């Protein structure tokens, strides 16, 4: 069955439009988010990978992004959901503002060659940030139980503003990934946006096969980092960790098992080479081609303050062991201890 696409649409938009129409039919028949094992949602013969890092904040995603970007077949800018208040004045990891960085200027130029405009002040890749607030709230809500997710899928399937916003955002994501892999020659695009709900939509990418790396870190460490960096209470931070882990597990169940893998932050820091070699096998990359010093290659990454550091030493952050009191640990145990033990932490 052929889907009719208006002539004014460019190639990328046409592909996403057709894919979105197919997804709409699935949603209408109640098969909205789950895919059978092995079904990638990509055209036959797709050669590039779109790799998504999923994790709570402060779990080591920026470190892993830098390490994987040291492989010449990997391209990343960190978090695609970025849209910093500074806009083009935001400091790239290379030390220059985005408006002055050669890489970002090439991104703008490659978008133009693809018939698109790229705005350094608003990447347009956040599902939760839409012109209509209600649209953003529906698309960007956290991953809920199956019945509520079916309601969201039905709303997207039947309400054109939701469907258009979802497809427009996906188109922006895919166009950026195409532009970045074209100018770097990489065949793997890495997105460190972390948020679980984005995994509802990314399987619809047309020119990329989706693979997911889930980073797991001791929840006590994540909680402590949240308290320190986001000025949240212990209770709020522990609940945030618990909620994020629940959302990640819900989404993981909806993805083919062979397209998902786990990385433990503590092992990444203690045994980076072994951890990276396992990831290279998962991504079908040649480990011998990776740079031995990840800081010795060019990076253009957005994220936390680590992006602006010069040293390449990997340090395990376990400040929680001395900064959380016995009473703090009791509070954490009450809120998220069961999930932490399920992840393998005592």
Which position has the token pair 């011998």? Answer: 288
Examine residue 184 and state whether it is found in any structural domain, yes or no. Answer: yes
What is the tally of structural domains in the chain?
Answer: 1
Examine residue 222 and state whether it is found in any structural domain, yes or no. Answer: yes
Summarised one tens digit per residue, pLDDT across range 33-90 is 333 333 333 333 447 999 999 999 999 999 999 999 999 999 999 999 876 556 677 8
Domain residue limits at 222: 39-122+172-304+316-342
Summarised one tens digit per residue, pLDDT across range 162-219 is 999 999 999 999 999 999 999 999 999 999 999 999 999 999 999 999 999 999 999 9
| Full DSSP string of 109-149 | HHHHHTT---BTTB----TT--SSHHHHHHHTSPP--HHHH
Examine residue 152 and state whether it is found in any structural domain, yes or no. Answer: no
Examine residue 212 and state whether it is found in any structural domain, yes or no. Answer: yes
When pLDDT is cut at 50, 70 and 90, the band that residue 224 belongs to is very high
pLDDT of 338 above 60? yes
Examine residue 147 and state whether it is found in any structural domain, yes or no. Answer: no
Instruction: Look up the CATH number of the domain holding residue 178.
Output: 3.40.50.300
pLDDT of 121 above 50? yes
Examine residue 336 and state whether it is found in any structural domain, yes or no. Answer: yes
Examine residue 200 and state whether it is found in any structural domain, yes or no. Answer: yes
User: Cα(196)–Cα(189) distance, rounded to whole angstroms?
Assistant: 18
Can you give the length of the chain in residues? 346
User: Cα(119)–Cα(121) distance, rounded to whole angstroms?
Assistant: 5
| Full DSSP string of 29-84 | TT--S---TT--SS-TT--EEEEEEE--SSSSHHHHHHHHHTSTTEEE-B-TT---
What pLDDT score does 90 carry? 81
What pLDDT score does 83 carry? 60
Give the mean model confidence (pLDDT) for residues 10-26.
34
Examine residue 3 and state whether it is found in any structural domain, yes or no. Answer: no
């Amino acid at each position: 069955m052929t889907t009719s696409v208006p002539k004014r649409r460019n190639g990328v938009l046409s592909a996403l439009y057709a894919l979105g129409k197919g997804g709409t039919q699935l949603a209408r028949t109640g098969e909205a988010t789950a895919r059978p094992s092995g079904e990638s949602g990509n055209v036959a013969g797709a050669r590039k990978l779109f790799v998504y890092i999923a994790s709570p904040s402060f779990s080591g995603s920026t470190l892993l992004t830098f390490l994987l970007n040291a492989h010449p077949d990997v391209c990343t800018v960190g978090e695609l959901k970025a849209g910093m208040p500074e806009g083009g004045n935001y400091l790239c990891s290379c030390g220059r503002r985005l408006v002055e960085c050669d890489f970002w200027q090439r991104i703008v130029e490659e978008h133009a060659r693809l018939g698109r405009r790229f705005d350094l002040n608003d990447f347009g890749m956040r599902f939760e940030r839409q012109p209509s607030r209600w649209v953003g709230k529906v698309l960007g809500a956290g991953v809920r139980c199956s019945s509520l997710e079916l309601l969201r899928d039905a709303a997207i399937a039947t309400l054109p503003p939701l469907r258009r916003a979802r497809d427009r955002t996906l188109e922006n994501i895919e166009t950026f990934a195409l532009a970045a892999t074209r100018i770097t020659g990489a065949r793997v695009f890495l997105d460190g946006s972390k948020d679980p709900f984005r995994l509802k939509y990314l399987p619809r990418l047309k020119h990329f096969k989706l693979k997911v790396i889930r980073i797991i870190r001791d929840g006590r460490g994540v909680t402590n980092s949240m308290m320190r960096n986001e000025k949240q209470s212990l209770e709020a931070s522990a609940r945030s960790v618990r909620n994020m882990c629940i959302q990640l597990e819900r989404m993981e169940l909806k993805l083919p098992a062979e397209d998902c893998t786990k990385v433990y932050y503590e092992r990444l820091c203690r045994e980076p080479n072994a951890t990276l070699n396992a990831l290279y096998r998962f991504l079908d990359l040649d480990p011998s081609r990776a740079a031995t010093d990840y800081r010795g290659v060019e990076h253009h990454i957005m994220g936390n303050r680590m992006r602006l550091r010069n040293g390449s030493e990997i340090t395990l952050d376990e400040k929680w062991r001395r900064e959380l009191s016995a009473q703090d640990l009791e509070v954490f145990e009450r809120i998220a201890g069961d999930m932490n033990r399920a992840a393998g932490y005592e």
